[in-house]
Amino acid sequence: MGFSLFNYWVVILLMMAGFYTVIASGNLVKKIVGLNIFQTSVFIMYISIGKVFGGSVPILAANTDLYSNPLPHVLILTAIVVGVATTSLALSLAIRIREAYGTVEENDILEISRREDDEE
């Protein structure tokens, strides 16, 4: 039982590490890294669920009754591409925030924003 559930323990560990990083860190880049770790854990979970032990490729063949469904793996491949695109967008936004405020720390950005609002 222990080793057969190893993938799911890895998923839980990565998910909680990513979630903690997003919540505990005030640095925007660290939050983006935490979201990527969380996203990777979801990918591993779906790939683990999609695996059929003893299943063959979904090509009709003689003496084969059990086939693996390729759809979960294809969906994860698409999700990886979307994840790379959203990560690049988030990092470019972090760069623009750094240029505008001079920092990527969330508390400093909020303080600068409050001061600008008070001056108006």
Q: Give 31-81 pLDDT, tens digit per residue.
A: 999 999 999 999 999 988 887 777 777 777 777 778 778 888 899 999 999
Domains of the chain plus CATH, in order, are 3-51+67-119 (1.10.287.3510)
The per-residue pLDDT for 48 is 86
- Rounded (10°) CA dihedral 117, 101, 37, 90: 90
- Cross-strand pairs, 105: 27
pLDDT given for residue 52 in this prediction: 77
Residue pLDDT, tens place only, 73-109: 899 999 999 999 999 999 999 999 999 999 999 999 9
